Every structure is written in C-alpha cells, then in structure tokens.
Amino acid sequence: MMQFLDPRRDEPVRIRSLPGLMQIGRRGLLGAGAAGLLLGAGGKAFCQLAVDITQGVVEPIPIAISPFAAGGGQGATLAGQIPDVISANLDGSGLFRTIDRQAYIQGPEELRGMPRFADWRQINAQALVSGVVEETPGGIGVEFRLWDVLGGQQMTGLRIDAPAASWRRIAHRISDAIYERITGEKGYFDTRIVYVSETGPKAKRITRIALMDQDGANHRFLTDGRELTFGPRFSPDGRRVAYLLYRGMRPRVYMRDIEGGREQVLIDTPRMNFAPRFSPDGQTALVTVNEDGDFNIVAVDLATRQQRRITSGGGISTSPSFSPDGRRIVFNSDRSGRPHLFVTGAQGGPAERISYGDGQYGSPAWSPRGDLIAFVNIKQRYFHIGVMRPDGSDERLITRSWQDEAPTWAPNGRVVIFQRTEPGGTTKRLYAIDVSGYNERLVPTPLDASDPDWSGLLP
Amino acid sequence: MVAVTALAVVRPRAMNCRGAKSSWELPMKLTLLPVAATALLLAACSSTPSSDETSGAGGMTTSDASSLTSGPVAGSQADLEQNVGDRVYFGFDSSTLDETARSTLQRQATWLQQFPSVSATVEGHTDERGTREYNLALGERRASAAARYLSSLGVPESRLMTISYGKDRPADPGSSEEAWALNRRAVTVINATN
C-alpha cells in the first residue's frame, strides 16, 4: 500500500492495487481458471494494448471512460466528475480520444463486474475505464479498472481512499495510472504549474505569482501584485517556490513555502539577483548575481546560505538548469558574442558551448529524463522552442511564433510548457507541446500568463 | 488484436525555414531624433511625466500646473528631461555607450553636480526581442554602463543607484523597429527626497 500526503491539507490518501476480477464462467471462451491466470497476473507479457510515444505522431487510442458506479450521496456527483477529469487529461495528452458516452451500451452498475467486451468492441473502444465511488468514514473510496477491450483483460486496477475534497487528485492519479500502463512512461497529471499572471497595459504590467493544477483547476495567487515579480520555480518536492521580487527597489530572489510560508530573501545582498533554480536534491539553489554590470551564476547552499561560484568572467551568464542527476548545469551566456548555450559541471569550471545555429539562444531547460535540453532560439523574426541533446546534437525546433519563450518540462520529459506572446506583446498565454512537435495546445489561465514552471508528480 | 500505428516522424512545420536574414539581426541604422528634440516631444505628449519608468522608483518630481507656464522646477525630473535629456539609447544586444549617449551623460553629470542633494536611479531597459532573464541582465548592464560613466565624470557613486526592468517596462508599447530602438535605453530618474 502506498501512502501520500495531500500537500494542500496534509491529509492521508491511501492507494492500493486491485487484483483482476475472477471470471465467472459464463463468458464464452475462457474458463475461470484461465481467466484468473490471465487477469490476476496483470502481467505486461499478456497485454496487447500499448503505445510507443517516442515515435512521433501516434493515432490517438479510442478509449471509453464510463461514468463510475456509486452508492449515492456525494459519491453520485463524483461518479460523473471523476471520469470527466480523466477524459480531459487523457484527451489533452493527444494520445487518447474519449469515445462519446452516448454510445456506451453497458451501464456503470453492470461494470462493477466483468465488462461485456463485445459491447465495447462494437463502438471501437480499444481501452475501457470503469470504476466505483463509495462514501467511507474518512471520505471516499474510489476503485478503478483499466481494461484492454480487444485482449479482454484487466490491465491495471487501483483503489484510492482519500478525503472527498481531494477528488480531483484522485482523478489525476487514475489518469497517471492509465497513461503509465499504456505508454510505459510516467504520467504528469497529478502535478501543478506555477507561473506569472499578468494584467494591465504593456508599459505598466502588474504581475503576480499564480499557482494552479496542471489542468487549470484550483487556481490561486501567491503574491498580491503590489511589487513586480517574475520567474517562479518549484522546489523539487513542490512545497516551496522561489521567484524574483522587486521589493524596495531591489530586485532579488525570494523563497516561500506554498502553504502559509512567509517570504524570505535568498541571499542577503543589495545586489540584483534573479533566475532561481533548485538543484534536483533540493539542497542548493542557483541564482544569477549582478557583479557591476556583469552577471554570473552562483550556487547557494540552502542550509548554510554559503555561496559557491559556478561561472566567472565578464558578460552575462544566466538561465541555468541542472541535469536531473545534478552533475551538470546548462546555462545561457554571451561570452562568445551572441547569447548561446553552454554546459558546465555542478561545481563550475570549464564550460562547453553546445549551440551553434543561427540567431540567439536562451532559456535552456534540461529534461527530467536527461536526454534533451529545451531552449529558445530567436532568428528570422521568430521565436522558436527547440530541443537538442546535451552535447548539442540533433537540434530540432518544435514551435515557431512571434514570441515563444520560457520552456519547462512536464516531469516525464515528454511535454514542454512555454509562454507564447501574441504579436503586439500584451496577450500572453501558456501552451504545451509534445517533445515530438505535435499536439500543441493552450493551457488555460484566467489572465495573461508567462514564465511557467511545472512541478514534479505531487508526493 | 490492438493495432496501434506509430507513424513516422513528420518534421514540424517550423523547421528548416531559412529565409533572408532578418533586418533586426543586422547592425541597425536608425535615425533617432536629437536628444533635446526627443525630450521635447516626450514632454509634449503629456503634462504629467511622460516616462513610464517611475513606477518602481516612486519618485520623480512632477511639475505641477503652475510650472507649465514658468518651466520646470530646477533640479526636478522635468528639468532633467526637458533641458538635459534623461535617457540614452543602445544598439541591439549592446550596452556600449555611443557618442550621443556619452554627450547626454556628460550633460547629466554637469546637471547632477549642480544639484548635489539630488540622488538618482539609472533604470536599464531592453526591447522585447529576447528572453526575459537575459534581458534583465542586459538592462542592468546598460544601467551600469551609464552609471559608471556618470561616476567617471565626477558624480559620486553614493548618489547613483541602478535597477533593471529588462523588457517589461517599455517606453514605447509598439512592436516596430522604431519602438524597439526607443526601448533599448537607460533612463536617469531622480530619487524622491524625504
């Protein structure tokens, strides 16, 4: 049994796997024993339904997501809402296409047992999600099962017990389980996004740090807009945020706990510092510090606040990003003329230039998988989001617009979120795109939005 | 059983579009109005301070209605703007002070020495054609270049602060080459006196 804490409430949520349902004999070809063997194993070896998302464009898998069965009361509402959230997540990924519920033949109550797979094959479903919601003394218990319709077997099943208020997180955990079972990659649905919310005219923007679930739900502001603020970043555990704040005419990096924390300056210096990034182990933060008009990256030990220099010399070095193993840092520097990308060790030292294309490069972001670095490339009047390997090879541009910038990664390294500014420079929106360059989609925000950062999977 | 078809990778449409080199990447030749004329023009736009940069500073001395007839109060922001020139401009991705910038700063230095109780913040800005973080650095580098030059001309460092707003406080909200040239700037703003 796994246990995790809801960071919003610190209430326990319990998750355990469900064994396969036993076949009760009257289903045609398979006897009970054989079915038990097949289903109980939940084994990959038997499973036919799988998709390799590393291959670029994939035809979305038609999936039926049934309303869940419910005992009544609060469960009845959630029995419709939880599948809705799952559908929105899976459809948004571009890898799935939810089949219209109107077409479903078998009802939720009947789906407490084995599905009639023939009914689901008839509407061309390749996968089926069924579930049950029941009220419990501690809140709700949700069981869900993912079925391979053509293979006629359960692929995975989970029971999640949690406070009813955490129902969206339950839906996200189920979505992650489905995504992972079918793609073989971790999901990214039980996550949050922190970003800069912007309002007002271009020359007098008001900016606030905002936080929301990955799908835009539970939106709230962390700062009040009285002071200009940019560039928020999550700590690896998702509990803290660091950002640039213009307080008292001194733009510096501040840090706070998301829940009830008070803002605290990262380093006690009057010098401008900005562009905070946490190390993967959460023990260090990188910041860019003004040294008389030159800018260098400094590592700050979060326990002792001792500083260690990562880059040195004249010019501008900023926008660092750690490799997921914490051993290397990619950053942006104009040391060779125009702004380009460089890689150095986590302790600093010699830096190797990795970008050699036309135009300017900026905002490198190392994928959590370690295999790619996302970046901004500005040339020919367009801003592009691109990806390259950490040695600079295999560069590909995956977006183009008047102004695309600030890429960061979903925790599974398959999706990049970035900021798109419409021509004219005031309308700013967040977009997500698969690393393949497909399935570009708007990430809805209530106001203009910039500088997104994607949390890891919530603990 | 289930047939999942993975199609071959199609190249994203943005790739391989190598057109003519864009003009903004080339060394720019923009004709800027002489500083005094620019200042007049800006002042003419509005009777309130025309620059947007005061937001953070909380401190430009504004000329009130009566001063419209008598001219700006000596030692005020309006005085600096109209009679000296409060800003200098930079080339694309550059923090180098050109001859025009240096002569404006020389006048600023003389003016600041006339009013020894005045302290100022040099605000550095960029155009919007870059990333936010790089531009925060570039803006500060421009402010520092201007402030260093002022102090080399005898303005005590203790009277000068710098701050960068990067690309997020444009003077001209437009998105033309002309607007971008006006936004690549360092503006000297008189600090409020308490």
pLDDT at B21 over 60: no
CB contact under 8 A, A272 and B168: no
Q: Which residues of B touch A231 (CB under 8 A)?
A: 132-133
Q: Cα–Cα distance between A87 and A309 in angstroms, integer?
A: 47
pLDDT confidence of residue A48: 63
pLDDT confidence of residue A74: 75
H/E stretch holding A408 reads: strand A404-409
pLDDT digits (tens, 9 = 90+) for B70-81: 789 999 999 999
- Taking the CB of residue A259, how many other CB atoms lie within 10 A of it? 11
pLDDT at A458 over 80: yes
Of A14, A455, A459, A15, the C-alpha closest to A213 is A455
CATH number of this structure's domain A2-183, picked from the four choices 1.10.1740.10, 3.40.47.10, 3.30.1300.10, 3.40.50.10070: 3.40.50.10070
Please report the DSSP string for A119-139 in residue order: HHHHTT-SEEEEEEEEEETTE
Q: For residue A226, what is the nearest residue in chain B, using CA coordinates? A: B56
Amino acid letter for position B101? A
Of A327, A323, A418, A434, the C-alpha closest to A369 is A323
pLDDT digits (tens, 9 = 90+) for A88-147: 999 999 999 999 999 999 999 999 999 999 999 999 999 999 999 999 988 999 999 999
DSSP state of B26: S
Q: Is B180 in contact with B24 (CB distance < 8 Å)?
A: yes
CB contact under 8 A, A57 and B21: no
DSSP state of B82: I
Of A52, A231, A295, the CB nearest to B6: A52
Q: For residue B138, what is the nearest residue in chain A, using CA coordinates? A: A316
CB contact under 8 A, B164 and A332: no
Q: Does B128 touch chain A (CB under 8 A)?
A: yes
CB contact under 8 A, B169 and A203: yes
- Taking the CB of residue A262, how many other CB atoms lie within 10 A of it? 8
Place of tokens 């003077």: B171
Residues 6+ apart with CB under 8 A from A114: A21, A23, A24, A27
Q: Which residues of A touch B15 (CB under 8 A)?
A: 396-397
Domain B83-194 class in CATH: alpha beta
Lowest-confidence range among A207-211, A412-416, B55-59, B88-92?
B55-59
pLDDT at A5 over 80: no
Of B9, B134, B161, the CB nearest to A318: B134
> What are the boundaries of each domain within chain B?
83-194
Strand partners of residue A153 = A148
pLDDT digits (tens, 9 = 90+) for B94-103: 999 999 999 9
Band of residue A57 on the pLDDT scale cut at 50, 70, 90: low
pLDDT at B26 over 50: no
∠ Cα A286 A289 A295 (to 5°): 110
Band of residue B67 on the pLDDT scale cut at 50, 70, 90: very low
Q: Cα–Cα distance between A146 and A175 in angstroms, integer?
A: 10
Band of residue B10 on the pLDDT scale cut at 50, 70, 90: very low
Cα-based distances in Å from A255 to A7, A341, A415, B136? 17, 27, 26, 19
> What are the boundaries of each domain within chain A?
2-183, 192-454
Lowest-confidence range among A45-54, A234-243, B133-142?
A45-54
**For the residues A185-201, what does the mean pLDDT come to?**
97
pLDDT at A42 over 80: no
Q: Which residues of A touch B19 (CB under 8 A)?
A: 380
Q: Cα–Cα distance between A447 and A406 in angstroms, integer?
A: 17
Q: Which residues of A touch B170 (CB under 8 A)?
A: 202-203, 425
Strand partners of residue A135 = A140
Q: For residue A424, what is the nearest residue in chain B, using CA coordinates? A: B175
CB contact under 8 A, A363 and B8: no
pLDDT digits (tens, 9 = 90+) for B45-54: 333 333 444 4
Strand partners of residue A195 = A210
Q: What is the b/e burial string over B170-187, where b = at least 16 CB atoms within 10 angstroms of the residue's CB?
A: bbbbbbeeebbbbbbbbb
∠ Cα A226 A227 A228 (to 5°): 125
Please report the DSSP string for B171-182 in residue order: SS---SHHHHHH
Band of residue A386 on the pLDDT scale cut at 50, 70, 90: very high
CA distance A12 to chain B (A): 38
Which residue out of A311, A316, A453 would a mutagenesis test of the B interface target, given it has the greatest number of B Cβ atoms within 10 Å?
A316
Q: Cα–Cα distance between B76 and B61 in angstroms, integer?
A: 5
Burial of A74 (0-12, 13-18, 19+ CB in 10 A): middle
pLDDT at B58 over 50: no
Q: For residue A401, what is the nearest residue in chain B, using CA coordinates? A: B14
pLDDT at A25 over 90: no
Q: Cα–Cα distance between A125 and A148 in angstroms, integer?
A: 9
Q: To which CATH superfamily is domain A192-454 assigned? A: TolB, C-terminal domain (2.120.10.30)
pLDDT confidence of residue A349: 92
pLDDT digits (tens, 9 = 90+) for B136-178: 999 999 999 999 999 999 999 999 999 999 999 999 999 999 9
Please report the DSSP string for A241-257 in residue order: EEEEEEETTEEEEEEEE
